Amino acid sequence: MRLDVVLRYPGTPEAVAALLADRSVVEELCAASDALEWDVRVEGAEPLGSSAFTVTVDRSLPTHELPDIARRFVGPALRLHQVDTWGPPAADGSRTGTTVLQVPGAPVTATATTALRVVRGGTEHSVTGELKASVPLVGARVERAAEEPIVRALRDQERELSARLGG
């Protein structure tokens, strides 16, 4: 299943990257997403967001809102392993990266290219990729069930970071 999401922030790509590279901000995003537990690791980006960086997040989310078909595969908590790798900024502050999202113990993965670019009034953050559930006969249903929480998490991130940036 194709995944295309565009987020907008009222700040520069440098300011957005600094927030995305800030461990405490990422932990607050985990808490805001109703995660049951999380572990966040940031490599690179000193000072925050000034160079290439990688953010690794392992978290558990409740599954009570997922359809029964999805809960059968993941149980009462959905464990997610996410690695966001951002390259260094270009001269205009824009940058590109990748996101890999895995569900340990379940045949569900998402891979995406990401980009921060300057637009009028701030920064556009694009996420474009594929969500795959390698489950015979019901894979498409599992993908549709997984798409909603992924998009919701991105929209929550957009709202939280925009608030921090004064939007």
pLDDT confidence of residue 18: 92
Phi, psi of 65 (to 5 degrees): -90, -10
What local confidence, expressed as pLDDT, does residue 147 receive?
A: 76
Query: Among 79, 70, 83, which Cα is nearest to 146's?
Result: 70
pLDDT category, 67, cuts 50, 70, 90? low
Say what the pTM is: 0.87
Neighbours of 92 (CB within 10 A): 11
CA–CA distance, 17 with 82 (Å, rounded to integer): 17
Q: 50-64, 120-134, 145-159 — which is least confidently predicted? A: 145-159
Instruction: Indicate whether 10 pLDDT > 90.
Output: yes
State the CB neighbour count (10 A cutoff) for residue 15.
21
pLDDT in tens, 103-142: 887 778 899 999 999 999 899 999 999 988 777 666 677 6
pLDDT tens digits for range 90-110 = 999 999 999 999 988 777 889
Residues 6+ apart with CB under 8 A from 48: 17, 18, 19, 21, 22
Which range in 25-34, 45-54, 63-72 is most confidently predicted, on average pLDDT? 25-34
Fold of 2-164: Alpha-D-Glucose-1,6-Bisphosphate; Chain A, domain 4 (3.30.530)
